[in-house]
Structure 1
Amino acid sequence: MQFGIRKFAAAGALALGAGLLLAPSASAEVASPQGCPPDVWYKVVSSGASYEAIGSTAGKYNASPTSAILRYDLTTTKSKQTTWSASLGGSLEFGVGQVESKTQYDVTKSTTSGKTVSNTINVPAKSYGYTTPKIERRKFTIEKWQDTAKCDARFLGNMGTLGGITAYPFFSECTAKSACTPKP
């Protein structure tokens, strides 16, 4: 019987030793942070409009007792260009592309002089009517941003400023009982 006890003791020792050889296994889910890719993107900020004359002011007096539609055919005397002032780089085409893709404005790169433009205005009876051909220019700043690993946005700087021609030709008008200056 002693042989049987030793056999079981040896078998138990082998089983215990085998159990000690096995590495304990544990599973724990470690959440890896879900970061954002470091994408670079551009933002367009508009600073409002200004107007520049591209021709002379024309006017007429409506001497009739009723209102009249007066037509003005004017020749442009000045050429104007969309401007680009780079800070971090880029080109005029880059600035125009950013403005047109991110705003509702179309940008004209340049205008020519010597072009005939026409405008009609309704002038009340016994009044003057004046008009001036102009361009509308808007200032746009193109900002460069980057997404961070924490999904925040980081400002990298201004790419540049675009002085874009957004309306051409634009007509300033005025009507009055005496001479007036077309606005805007």
Structure 2
Amino acid sequence: MRRSTRGGAFIGSLLLGAGLLLAPTASADVQAPDSCPPDIWYKVVAYPAKYEGIGSTAGKFNSGSASTILRYDMTTTTAKQSEWTAELGGTMKFAVAEVQGKTSHQITDHTSTGVTVSNTINVPGRKYGYTTPKIERTTFIVEKWQDTPTCGARKLGNAGKLWGITAYPFYSECIATGPCAPKP
């Protein structure tokens, strides 16, 4: 009986040694996708500009036969300001920084009443020339986005909406054979 135990131990150690000599195998059928950090970023979407009056219309008739440059000095009668409505957060300062950093627009915080503004128009002979001081206001949506683990992007929502004054003063003008309303 002693002999068979020794023989079994010997055979077991041979099998164990043979198993250690075999090279390990690995399977790499499916690789894990690359992972991206979940960074947050913002996108700015601009809508067409609109115009709002900040003073009265001024105009004259050029009674001469030659073109004349007419100068209009007007006083602003309405104050306007840029406005921010937050949805997912952020301040007005944040919104202005995003818009100015990601577009070619500069934002004016506010305008005042009682400011004298001037405009000149080249009015042909026997024509009327009118002008109105205005602001140009552009609506911007600041969207909040996040990178996904698979390096895509998903929209989290809107950080908010900025009604920004993008031109001040802006002058609407018209030239006609009769009285006219300056556009835009």
Mean CA deviation greater in 150-159 or 137-146: 150-159
Distance, in Å, in 2 between the alignment partners of 1:118 and 1:105 is 23
Q: Secondary structure at the match of 2:47?
A: strand
TM-score by length of 2: 0.87
Distance, in Å, in 1 between the alignment partners of 2:22 and 2:118 is 91
- Aligned residue pair count: 175
Distance, in Å, in 1 between the alignment partners of 2:99 and 2:78 is 25
Q: CA deviation at 1:36?
A: 1.4
**Cα deviation code 1:98-144 (max 9, x no counterpart):** 11111110111111111111110010101111000000000001111
Say if 2:168 is the partner of 1:168.
yes
Distance, in Å, in 2 between the alignment partners of 1:36 and 1:100 is 28
AA matched with 1:98: E
Say if 2:37 is the partner of 1:71.
no
> Is there any run of 5+ residues in structure 2 with no aligned partner, and where?
1-6
Distance, in Å, in 2 between the alignment partners of 1:20 and 1:27 is 16
> Is there any run of 5+ residues in structure 1 with no aligned partner, and where?
1-8
AA matched with 1:25: P
Q: Work out the percentage of aligned pairs sharing the same amino acid.
A: 56
Say if 2:43 is the partner of 1:26.
no
* Aligned pairs for 1:3-14 within 5 A: none
Q: Which residue of 2 aligns with 1:130?
A: 130
TM-score by length of 1: 0.87
AA matched with 2:17: A
* Aligned pairs for 1:143-158 within 5 A: 143-158=143-158
Q: Which residue of 1 aligns with 2:3?
A: none
